[in-house]
Structure 1
Amino acid sequence: MEESSGRATASRLTARGAKTRSRIIATAADLMRVRGVGATTLDDVVVAGNVSKSQLYRHFEDKQALVRAVIEFTGDRAIAVERERLNRVMTLTGLRRWRDALVENNALQQGRYGCPLGSLASEVVDQDPIARQKLNELFSAWRELFESLLQRFQKVGVIPQEADVSRLSIGLLAAVQGGYLLAQASRDVTPMASAIDMAIAHLHHLGSKRDTAS
């Protein structure tokens, strides 16, 4: 399958070339986060990234190639952050702290820009099948983080062994992404907090049912 970000090409760059390429991607990611993919032009990236057009086109043949690289950059960064945060969670109390941090961080911008990955998905999934596949892989990786968390919960008895952690992980991811979208639309993180709270309450209910049954 064609590579969405040109990782193989990037690995052959000089140190200076790799630094320029990374700056272009990071600049484009920041602009697309605020303005959206459609409203961000290559000229915008050139100016904001302090690079020449020839430098940009040396690394990316067109905007589509740059968008694919932005998706990979944004997704890898988001997954790395969530992996670090979720790996520390061992209890429902810890999960609620994770929820608080997620909501509070989004509240700093009144939910304005939504989820970095979700916002990209809403703009490109119907235009670029390669980008759509990469986004699907990234969301799957995010879901797997939740599934690993729930498997830990099973091991320590927070939720019952028979709980379907695959389905529960999808529910958690949907609560997060839906919450981001509602917060973005309303410029208010309250719906996001409520959505995640409902998912956590369901996990608490599962644990309570186990305790009652025993």
Structure 2
Amino acid sequence: MKRTSQTPRLTARGAATRTRIVEAAANLMYIRGVNATTLDDVRAASGTSKSQLYHHFADKDALVRAVVGLWARRVLDREEQHLERLNSFSGLQRWRSVLVQLNSVQNGRYGCALGSMANEVADHDEEARAIVAAGFARWQQLIANGLRRMQENGKLKPDADADHLAIGLIAALQGGYLLTQTTRDMKPMEVALDMALSHIKAHLVE
């Protein structure tokens, strides 16, 4: 009989077990990758039995979707703290420095959690791809909204396309993450972000 993907109604204990499974899987999949992480790995890391895991997740795909959702929330919670009140170019520079510093702590290893998830699931699971896409759309919107506030306070030219500038900045960031992950050198991430910020700077009101 095919299992359903519906999440059962949970007791407090059941919810805690499910959370423990998802968090253990999220950490393993970020470090090892989705494909290299088995359900047995997750069971061992979360201290749960096979029956407990399958009570909450019909299969690995269902677990991966929960992991993608968790990483999207983690990334967006962090980004909202830095971008929700963004209204200046110096604010963008501070945001850039925070991301570089956070990535330098692990010497570029593992890259962006959301970008890494996208790379592994986008062509294999439409539901997981949609979760990642929504996460990136929200991230881009946070930047674009900050740029619009800069237009409202007279710091960014009114004819600057906030949405296009936000797309370019996100693309530069993700490319920087990937190259830094490959080279174990922070320079690609720094250069990519600085070039994208220079393009935005060209649209500032003098």
- Taking structure 2 as the reference length, the TM-score comes to 0.94
> Of the candidates 187, 199, 202, which is equivalent to residue 202 of structure 1?
199
- Structure 2 residue 123 is matched with structure 1 residue 131: no
Letter in 1 for 2:105: L
Partners of 1:134 and 1:186 in 2: how far apart? 29
Shift, 1:44, TM fit: 0.3
Partner of 2:68: 71
SS at match of 2:73: helix
Letter in 2 for 1:149: G
Shift, 1:24, TM fit: 0.5
Partners of 2:94 and 2:164 in 1: how far apart? 22
> Of the candidates 191, 194, 199, which is equivalent to residue 188 of structure 2?
191
Shift, 1:54, TM fit: 0.8
Partners of 1:200 and 1:175 in 2: how far apart? 9
Partners of 2:21 and 2:64 in 1: how far apart? 11
Partners of 1:176 and 1:96 in 2: how far apart? 13
How many residues were matched structurally?
202
| Structure 2 unaligned blocks of 5 or more | none
Partner of 1:180: 177
> Of the candidates 119, 131, 141, which is equivalent to residue 122 of structure 1?
119
- Structure 2 residue 78 is matched with structure 1 residue 81: yes
SS at match of 1:206: coil
Letter in 2 for 1:77: R
Letter in 2 for 1:189: M
Shift, 1:138, TM fit: 1.2
Q: How does 1:3-82 map to 2 (within 5 A)?
A: 9=7, 12-82=9-79
Letter in 2 for 1:128: D
Partners of 1:33 and 1:117 in 2: how far apart? 9
Alignment RMSD: 1.3
